[in-house]
Amino acid sequence: MNHVTYIMKHKSRITYHVYLPIIVMKKYILLVSIFLSLFISGCGFQATNQQNQINMKISSPSFEEDSTIPTKFTCKGENINPELNIADVPENAQSLALIVDDPDAPAGTWTHWTIWNIDPGTDTIKENSVPSSAIEGTTSFGKPGYGGPCPPSGTHRYYFKLYALNDKLDLSASAKVSDLVAAFAGHILDQTEVMGIVASQ
């Protein structure tokens, strides 16, 4: 058997021994990649869950969730804002914003109150008051300030929506709710709401 014949005879065996480690290595790299992908995805899922555990709260001693808002706070009464209590604001919040609206108004959602740049350390917005340094925006009544529920007919829902933001907003009192929403888009850390109802009288 000459040298060339020997090489041809054992070519497949040589090829096998050369490529076997490469194949094994490729499979190993593939498995490691899959493991790392699953691990990273798991970490991301855990981080998202932790972020979603933030649970800011807003409530009022004047009415329970989904219950009647007293006449005192409507257009038929003193037309003043009810007391609102705030809890569990994210530690990294730079300001709070509040929107009060009625989605059941005949002409579409009616804005009753907007406030922004509320100090994130605020735990109570007292009855008939505005937090110091906060700014009230122009409502659907055409002017800044609180306008109480005043349904023309039927029973309407009134949402007090609170937003924790990672920045303060550069808006004047002439800003409408659409301006406010556009300004805090992308800056919301957490949000919550409480809803009360008022029936026409």
CA distances (Å), 74 to each of 16, 45, 81, 162, 184, in order? 86, 44, 8, 20, 28
Q: Same structural domain for residues 13 and 102?
A: no
Per-residue pLDDT of the chain (201 residues), as tens digits, is: 554 444 444 444 544 444 445 444 555 555 545 444 444 344 333 333 334 455 999 999 999 999 999 999 999 999 999 999 999 999 999 999 999 999 999 999 999 999 999 999 999 999 999 999 999 999 999 999 999 999 999 999 999 999 999 999 999 999 999 999 999 999 999 999 999 999 998
Q: Same structural domain for residues 175 and 125?
A: yes
| pLDDT one-digit tens code per residue, 141-153 | 999 999 999 999 9
Number of domains composing the chain: 2
Q: pTM (2 decimals)?
A: 0.74
Whole-angstrom distance, CA of residue 83 vs CA of residue 179: 25
Q: Same structural domain for residues 130 and 85?
A: yes
Q: Same structural domain for residues 33 and 46?
A: yes
Q: Same structural domain for residues 81 and 34?
A: no
Q: Same structural domain for residues 147 and 102?
A: yes
Q: What is the mean pLDDT of the chain?
A: 84
CA distances (Å), 7 to each of 17, 19, 93, in order? 14, 17, 75
